[in-house]
Structure 1
């Protein structure tokens, strides 16, 4: 007869057997999409130029970055996150 030993590795973590398709997008997916949109807007280059030259960044770029962050936060709080969260209808126009 076998005996179950408690503790250590004996306490297994239940794994989620659902596939990626069944799970849907994650909050990390939304954050990556937000980062991609901010990168494509030219925000980071403008920010570096602001530090290097002292000339303030265009206000519309700062505002766009805030809007993208807000949209990402709102999307990541939805349960479930929509499968089409990457479409432009969820994000501010750049």
Structure 2
């Protein structure tokens, strides 16, 4: 290639999802209730809640009360955030969510 022109190939890895999730910022629209619900689901999943629930079902050993409580707190935060108009663009910030 002469003239200093270079070809670059865009490799989509983890950014593909991040870009898709933030499409609203480029469209001039704020985040939606569905965006908030996805963030809540992500946080619940990362807490280990689902694995603990499966373990409880399979073994009969109750899940930790703190995990149940955290799940309720995350659900409450999501419900509260999704009622705001507009929903803050930084709604994924840890300041809006309970600490696990």
Match of 2:30 among 9, 21, 24: 24
TM-score (norm 1): 0.79
Instruction: Name the SS for the 1:47 alignment partner.
Output: helix
CA drift at 1:20 = 2.7
What is the root-mean-square deviation in Å for CA atoms of aligned residues?
1.0
C-alpha separation between the residues in 2 aligned to 1:25 and 1:46? 30
TM-score (norm 2): 0.74
Aligned counterpart, 1:66:
72
CA drift at 1:52 = 0.2
CA drift at 1:84 = 0.2
Q: Does the alignment pair 1:83 with 2:93? A: no
Q: Does the alignment pair 1:46 with 2:52? A: yes
Q: 4+ residue stretches of structure 1 with deviation over 6 A?
A: none
Structure with bigger gyration radius: 1
Residue segments in structure 1 that go unaligned for 5+ positions in a row: 1-18
Residue segments in structure 2 that go unaligned for 5+ positions in a row: 1-22
Aligned counterpart, 2:40:
34
Deviations 1:31-89 (A, max 9, x none): 00000000000000000000000000000000000000000000000000000000000
C-alpha separation between the residues in 2 aligned to 1:46 and 1:69? 17
Aligned length: 76
